Amino acid sequence: MDAQRWRRARELFDELVDTPQAGWNARVAEACADDPLVRDEVLAMLRADQATGQQEIFDASLPAAVVELAGRLAGVKAADAEAGHEGRSVGPFRLVREIGRGGMGAVWLAERADGAFEQRVAVKLIRSGWDVDEVLARFRAERQILAGLQHPNIAHLVDGGITADGKPWLALEYIDGEDLRAWCDSRRLDLAARLQLFLTVCDAVAHAHQRLVVHRDLKPSNILVGNDGVVKLLDFGIAKLLDGTDAGISSTRMFTPEYAAPEQVRGELLTTAVDIHALGLLLYELLCGRRPFEADHPTPAAYERAVLDREPTRPSLALARGDDAGAAIAACRDLAPARLRRELRGDLDAIVLKALRKEPGQRYASVQAFADDVRRHLARQPVLARRGSWRYRSARFLRRHALAATLAGVAVFALCAGLGAALWQARVANVQRDSARAALAFMRSLFDNADPAHRKGDQLSARDLLDAGVRTMRTALPGEDAARGELLLTMASAYLGLEQLDAAAPLIEEVRASAEARADRAQLAAAMIQQCRLRDLGNHPDDCPPLLDHAESLLDPREPEQARLVAYSLALRVYGLQLANRYEAVVESMRRGLALLGDRREDRYLRVELASHLAFALNRLGRPAEAERVLAPWLAELRHDDDTERVLLVDTLGTLSSSLSALGRHDEAIAMQREAIEIAEKLYGRDDPTVAESYNTLARTLNGAGRIDEAVAAMEHAVELDRRNEAGGRNPELASALCNLAVLLVKQEHYADALARLDEAVELAREAEFDADLGRSLWWRAVVHLVAGRTADARADGERMADVLAPSHAAGDDAMLRGRALAFAAALIEQGPAAATAPACADAGAIAEAFMRTPQAAGADARFAAYLAMLCTQHAPPVDPAPPLAVHYARIVARIRDAWAAAR
């Protein structure tokens, strides 16, 4: 009976099993008028069920069942009700504790008690109340099976016998370990190591098959790896002997639905193919961390239907793109999700699917053949599973979809009629060919302009090349507005990369107008996204969100190219979200962006950028371990991929080093950042601004490790590199680097040197109109003034900082909170207790509470704010807060304490 007929029979049986027998024939005849085979099967099942209910065995076991049920209702497990089990003697062993429970009984950890030698074993005991003939027969069969199996990877039989009350027991080798799947994941084993362990399991199963034993219940929980790393196969409790010696045992179907083969579900004759199917399921989980049949409602019936009716998902397709759980699964295999999918695609897909075929005869002929194919894959040899796979899939399809196959024959005829349409498509292709040739001619003209022979030896800059391209574009691609728009946007993006805003603006506007006229929604959205970049670089970031909202509303994320634009739009939102302290929103947006992107190589840079933004936000939220999990797979892929753009590795190393530093793994973080510097210097040259940025990150990492002198040296080198790249005094990177150097000097208490660097940073940031760096430099300069007792200067810098940052920063942003706290501290130094007015104290309390809601609630800023709020409730001269604050805050606290004491 095939799967569809069996499901039909099963559903009809479930419908009628609890109804009166008198109505069976009429209902079955009505439902199965077209299929006598299903009708006979349903009636046979119904009669068998009725006969089972009348067997004496049921009557004999009913009292025991009632006793056990009563014990459960009273809240006492049957195992607990059996007095004396813990510490009870069984043969030469003493029971220590229960370590497992199954359908027939319990498994106990036991120790040898006869004093002959020390030994720990696992003792199996039949559960009370169910020692009926069938269960006893199964128990004796397991003992006989284990006695005949001698293999280093099968838990062997140690002893056996009968207890004083007549129950049989088995003493088995005790394995102190964890199941194979968990063992591999906890050690992040790669695919090759997992396959080697799987081959060990195959050898053990093959040994059993050679002795005519079918396990019938292979699953991860029955395969343990001990602390010594040795794999052991357990639990032959429902194993079957193929030579007929278990004929006295009833044919009751016993299996785990999630790991059952189709023939087990259908109740057919079982062969070694059952274990081959189970090994296929095990290999599937080892490779991709999921099951091939994911049921919406994980009930035994749902799993049975899935096993019978559904084809398994290919392992390489089981990990959905952008799936967070999939990323964690790939990380357990020391791979990125995309790399894992590539490794599984092909041989491993074919091997697993061959083992999981519905018909036993279509699977591997033996476990040894299965293992040999895995070995061929490891040896990079052709695997047998990929032979004949097309014929198998075709036969399965035709059997399941006979009607659809007939209709497909009709479709072939229709396809022939469609040849005329193909001719029309050829004409369209010719038009596209002409367009491509025109685009190629345009690109050739650009390279001709770059040729020194045409330039008479003059050097051609990137700006010169772009300008020449724009001039050529005025007459290029006539009538090809869409292709022309793509090229114009590419050149506009390049201009923005060079910060040539005036040159980019008209190109973007031209593309936007053309796209609107042609109702080209995707290109219009792309133009608006570039306009956002333009406005952001022009120091008008508030214009960005409306443009991005409109752009995203025009795009269909189901289209790969448009999904990429949506992801790029999400990346452009990050800076504004960070300014508003909305790091949870950053996490959500970046996860959405990663989910939208596919595995295409051209999207790699954007995917790494999104992952880096995600990791940065997680660090700010105090979740550095999660940030590491996001980036570690990328680092593994980028290091192993010789063809990758090295710039991706530089960025990933820098961001991941920050995560490791936050986790306290400072030596790893420092080594990682030095690696990033080495790669950047080889890639860009030793004087490039990118190298300066890497030194900046190294200084921050060294500072986090408490190696302040090394941090200062690294930061001074970054400042020197930024000075070399200064152009006309407008270099915000130099302003940022000077401020960072000043922060380190403040920590060394070199306040005069710090003040000099801050003065220069303030002036540079003001000229560059870079408000974020200007506000930060003003705040640190206010700190230095306050430490020196120059409260008027500190108050002036604090007020100026608030004016600069207020348009772009929320009131609850860290920077704004620090500015308000510093203003209150200046007032306390000037006025002592008189400054602690009711409004001032209310604001101090609000600042302290706001800091407690930020990810930096345990940092020096938050503790300083809490100290200032505490002064409002204290009438005695204040003491130093504990634990000690950062050095600059400690100096300010000392001045506040002196001012407070003097005023009293």
Please give the positions annotated as active site.
217
Query: For residue 667, how many C-alpha atoms fall within 13 Å in the half-sphere facing its CB?
Result: 0
CB 496 within 8 A of CB 533: yes
The residue behind tokens 């503790």 is: 863
Q: How does strand 168-173 pair with strand 177-179?
A: unpaired
Q: How far apart are CA 872 and CA 837, in angstroms?
A: 8
Q: How far apart are CA 339 and CA 361, in angstroms?
A: 33
Among 846, 900, 848, smallest CA distance to 876 is for 900
Q: How far apart are CA 714 and CA 720, in angstroms?
A: 10
SS (H, E, C) 499-538: CCHHHHHHHHHHHHHHHHHHCCHHHHHHHHHHHHHHHHHC
Which stretches of 769-886 are DSSP H helices? 771-787, 791-805, 814-831, 838-852, 860-871
CB 677 within 8 A of CB 649: no
Burial of 215 (0-12, 13-18, 19+ CB in 10 A): buried
Instruction: State residue 95 phi and psi, 5-degree precision.
Output: -70, 135
Instruction: State residue 214 phi and psi, 5-degree precision.
Output: -105, 125
Instruction: State residue 583 phi and psi, 5-degree precision.
Output: -75, -30
The residue behind tokens 């397991």 is: 142
Q: How far apart are CA 94 and CA 109, in angstroms?
A: 9
Q: How does strand 93-101 pair with strand 89-90?
A: antiparallel
CB 169 within 8 A of CB 121: no
Q: How far apart are CA 303 and CA 509, in angstroms?
A: 58
Q: Cβ of 262: how many Cβ atoms within 10 Å?
A: 22
**Exposure b/e, 757-790, CB count within 10 A at least 16 = b:** bbebbbebbbebebbbbbbbbbbbbbbbbbbeeb
Q: How far apart are CA 812 and CA 805, in angstroms?
A: 12
Q: Cβ of 729: how many Cβ atoms within 10 Å?
A: 10
Sign of CA dihedral 529, 535, 536, 538: positive
Write out the DSSP string of 200-264: HHHHHHHHHHHTTEE-S---GGGEEEETTS-EEE---TT-EETTSTTTTS-------GGG--HHH
Q: Which two tokens stand for residue 775?
A: 């506000």
Q: How far apart are CA 208 and CA 239, in angstroms?
A: 10
Q: How far apart are CA 654 and CA 631, in angstroms?
A: 11
Q: Which two tokens stand for residue 151?
A: 């293999």
Among 730, 808, 731, 741, smallest CA distance to 771 is for 808
CB 541 within 8 A of CB 500: no
Q: How far apart are CA 522 and CA 883, in angstroms?
A: 56
Taking only Cα atoms into account, the Rg of the chain, rounded to an integer number of angstroms, comes to 37
The response to whether 240 counts as a known ligand-binding position is no
Q: Which two tokens stand for residue 737?
A: 């680097």
Which stretches of 401-461 are DSSP H helices? 402-417, 419-450, 452-455
Name the binding residues for ATP.
Answer: 124
Q: Which residues are annotated as a binding site?
A: 124
